[in-house]
A and B are shown apart, each in its own frame.
Chain A
Amino acid sequence: MTRWFEDITLNEAFDLGSHQFSVDEIIDFATEYDPQYFHIDPEAARHSHFGGLVASGWHTVCIGQRKMVDALSAEAERLRALGKEPGVAGPSPGVNAMTFKVPVRPGDTVTFSLTVTSKRRSNSIPGWGVLFNQIAAVNQHGETVYTAELISFSKLRDYTVPTRLRLLQGLAKVPFFGRALSRMT
């Protein structure tokens, strides 16, 4: 998120925008990453239970990620324009659960949203917090395409490195101690 960990409000939906899936991009993505006949061959796809070409689930998820990155970058820009310093987001450690509900067909428009449902301080990485994000993707008929619980890291604003940790970080820069430390951890 573009807010600091301390400022993130729970259960507030953040709109990530929409994406219309074209037949060409569905086939292009699947040809590279998920070349099953109902994702790449419109003719053969008619024999499948989908009755026609559908997007790879992983494709819709990757588009969801792109929409999230774009929306959060735009929000960071907006905050900078207001003279505020946006928060720092880190990489994601994983996804608890993702369910594909209805398939995405060529021409479908999917709207994505992000809601932080819970947050806590990281146990393993000092200075960072962990966010539990609910991602929802809904098509133009109001049907849910997929839902996901994505975990992400967010930097703490009000954090000072404890003296003991600062000492360890200093030691890690000394060649011999650094090697010994990295072996221990």
Chain B
Amino acid sequence: MQCRVDVKGSQMTNPVTATRRHYEDLAVGEIITLAKTKVDKQMVTGFARQFDPLPFHLDEAAAKASLLGGLAASGWQTGALSLRALVDSFLADIASAGGLGFSHLKWKNPVMVGDTIGGTITITNLRRSDSHQQWGIVTLDFDVRNQKIYRFSPCVWQIWSRCAPNDPLV
């Protein structure tokens, strides 16, 4: 994994994250509940105009005629809203150092205007980085659903988390 992690800098205590939970404080199986977000038409068209200006995210008539069957949020917006919920309920409280990437992202069903999305994120794996001893890699399984439960967009994320400053290896 090629990631620009400044080893020297990270050996010093980071005052921003010093009091947060570190890698050792996390456990496999921990479940993070995401706050619910209602998706309205203004949000959908606003995001689409900026990042995904396809007719089926902008125009109701074009959306009805498309595979989506109605005005639906860009999948990237569903992801952005899930990410925001993850920051609020988890990342802001841990010594997180950014994402490595993700896999298996499936937009199983579109998020339609008026839907409320929420869900859970589970820590499914924790391992120390081979290349950066003072870092751990946290694997997170996303399970984001709407109010009817049957629509969801599962996804697996990996993020870096700083190991505790008092860890003998750090």
Contact = CB atoms under 8 A, between A and B. Distances in A.
B5 interface: yes
- Tier of interface size on chain B: 35 or more
A66 B92 contact: no
A91 B68 contact: yes
B80 A58 contact: yes
Interface stretch (A5-13, A42-50, A107-115): A42-50
Interface string A87-129: 0011111111111111100000000000000000000010010
Contacts, number: 122
A57 interface: yes
Given A34-B84, A50-B98, A96 B104 contact: yes
A14 interface: no
A54 interface: yes
Interface residues of A, number: 44
B80 A62 contact: yes
Given A57-B99, A90-B66, A91-B68, A33 B80 contact: yes
A100 B99 contact: yes
A150 to B, nearest CB: 9
B10 interface: yes
A17 interface: no
Interface of B: 2-6, 9-10, 14-16, 50-54, 56, 66-68, 72, 74-76, 79-81, 83-84, 87, 91-92, 96-108, 110, 153
